[in-house]
C-alpha cells in the first residue's frame, strides 16, 4: 500500500537535506528551489511551502499556498 499524501512539518530549520537532498530539489543552502503549489522539477509530486518570509506575512502566504495545494491535490 502506498500513501496518497505525506506531510512533513520540518520546524524552523530547513532539515530537508536528509529527506529530499537525493532528489536534487534543494539549493546549496538546503532550501527548496521551488516552493508553493508549483511542481518541483525532478520530483513532480513534491510540493514544498513555508520557506519564504514575505512582507505580507508568512501565515497569509501559507494560507494562499495551502488553498492552491489543496485544489491541485483534489
What is the reported pLDDT for 13?
66
Within a domain: 7: no
Q: What is the Cα–Cα distance from 50 to 58, expressed in whole angstroms?
A: 7
Average pLDDT score over residue span 53-68: 83
Q: What is the pLDDT of residue 11?
A: 66
Q: What is the pLDDT of residue 14?
A: 67
| pLDDT tens-place string over residues 14-25 | 678 888 888 888
Quote the domain boundaries for residue 52.
17-73
Question: Which tens digits make up the pLDDT trace of 32-58?
Answer: 888 877 778 888 888 888 777 778 888
CB contact at 8 A, 36 and 47: yes
Does residue 8 form part of some domain? Answer: no
Count structural domains, the chain.
Answer: 1
State the Cα–Cα distance between residues 37 and 15, nearest whole angstrom: 20
pLDDT confidence of residue 55 = 83
Amino acid at each position: 500500500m502506498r500513501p496518497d499524501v505525506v506531510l512533513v512539518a520540518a520546524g524552523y530549520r530547513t532539515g530537508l537535506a536528509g529527506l529530499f537532498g537525493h532528489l536534487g530539489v534543494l539549493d546549496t543552502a538546503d532550501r527548496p528551489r521551488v516552493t508553493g503549489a508549483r511542481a518541483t522539477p525532478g520530483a513532480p509530486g513534491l510540493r514544498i511551502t513555508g520557506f519564504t518570509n514575505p512582507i505580507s506575512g508568512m501565515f497569509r502566504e501559507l494560507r494562499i499556498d495551502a488553498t492552491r495545494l489543496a485544489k491541485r491535490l483534489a
